[in-house]
């Protein structure tokens, strides 16, 4: 059986998010260049907004509402893993809010707040990479084994409906400026800057 489109899309989106997170961490460790402080903080804010807007609001609901229930129904032995992943999805949005708050603290209250932001980003990166690893090593192989053609049709349609622009798909008009900003300033492999 060929790899269903939805599994390919999930893996592509995971790779794009991992690259975004690593680029974000590199960028904040490097810090703002002389005379580029506002641009730096605007870019980091844009990257955090992307993390909140795409993975948290568009990618995770498709997993939680469509993929996980289908896998749980046909592979109930994975319920503990699915429960953990669902808890991760619930924690993720709060963690992004914390990062946004810590970034504002660094920007407005000064350099002494930088380390707290860097450490929180490092924790978030570890948390998220482990989350994606668990999905890719436990859930996706099981899904490929147990799901039926009708399941794949529904999943493929849902995942095709809103693709992550960082996987090479054009952003919708509402996101065009955001992604242009990220691409201009973020370090490789996400962007052309730094």
CATH topology of domain 5-185: 1.20.120
Q: Which of 8-17, 91-100, 155-164 has the lowest mean pLDDT?
A: 155-164
Give the chain's length.
Answer: 194
pLDDT grade for 39, boundaries at 50, 70 and 90: confident
Q: What is the pLDDT of residues 70-100, one digit of tens each?
A: 999 999 999 999 999 999 999 998 999 999 9
- Which of 46-50, 54-58, 76-80 is predicted most confidently? 76-80
Please state which of the ranges 20-24, 38-42, 175-179, 186-190 shows the lowest mean pLDDT: 186-190
| Structure token pair of residue 28 | 């904040």
Question: Domain limits of the chain?
Answer: 5-185
- Count CA within 13 A, CB hemisphere, residue 174: 4
Structure tokens at 169: 């798909």
Residues 6+ apart with CB under 8 A from 165: 54, 171, 175, 179
What is the 8-class DSSP label of residue 4? P
Residues 6 or more apart from 108 whose CB is under 8 A from it? none
- How would you classify residue 62: left for phi > 0, otherwise alpha for psi between -120 and 50, otherwise beta? alpha
- Sign of the alpha-carbon torsion through 192, 127, 64, 152: positive
């Amino acid at each position: 059986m060929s790899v269903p489109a939805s599994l390919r899309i999930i893996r592509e989106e995971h790779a794009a998010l991992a690259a975004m997170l690593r680029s974000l961490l590199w960028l904040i460790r490097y810090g703002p260049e002389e005379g580029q402080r506002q641009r730096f903080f605007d870019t980091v804010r844009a990257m955090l907004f992307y993390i909140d807007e795409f993975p948290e609001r568009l990618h995770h609901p498709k997993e939680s509402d469509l993929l996980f229930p289908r896998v749980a129904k046909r592979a109930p032995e994975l319920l503990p893993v699915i429960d953990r992943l669902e808890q991760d999805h619930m924690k993720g949005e709060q963690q992004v809010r914390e990062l946004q708050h810590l970034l504002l603290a660094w920007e407005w209250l000064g350099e002494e707040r930088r380390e707290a932001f860097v450490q929180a980003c490092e924790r978030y990166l570890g948390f998220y990479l482990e989350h994606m690893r668990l999905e890719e090593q436990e859930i996706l192989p099981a899904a490929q084994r147990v799901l039926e053609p009708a399941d794949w049709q529904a999943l493929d349609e849902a995942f095709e409906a809103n693709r992550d622009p960082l996987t090479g798909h054009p952003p919708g008009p509402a996101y065009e400026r955001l992604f242009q900003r990220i691409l201009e300033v973020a370090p490789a492999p996400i962007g052309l800057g730094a």
